[in-house]
Amino acid sequence: MAASNKNDVKKPNIFVRMGRKLKEVFSELKRVTWPTFPKVVKSTGVVLVVVLVFLVVVTGINFGLQALLDLVTGIGE
List pLDDT tens digits, range 10-23. Answer: 777 888 889 999 99
The gap from C-alpha 27 to its chain's centroid, in whole angstroms, comes to 22
Query: What's the predicted TM-score (pTM) here?
Result: 0.57
State whether the Cα torsion 64-66-72-76 is positive or negative: negative
Query: What gap in Å lies between CA 15 and CA 37, rounded to an integer?
Result: 37
pLDDT in tens, 42-76: 999 999 999 999 999 999 999 999 999 988 988 75
**Domain that includes residue 57, residue range:** 39-77
Q: Is residue 59 part of a domain?
A: yes
Amino acid at 17: R
Q: Is residue 22 part of a domain?
A: no
**CA-derived radius of gyration, the chain:** 29
What is the total count of domains within the chain?
1
CA dihedral 62, 63, 69, 70 (to 10 degrees): 160
Q: Is residue 47 part of a domain?
A: yes
Q: Is residue 29 part of a domain?
A: no
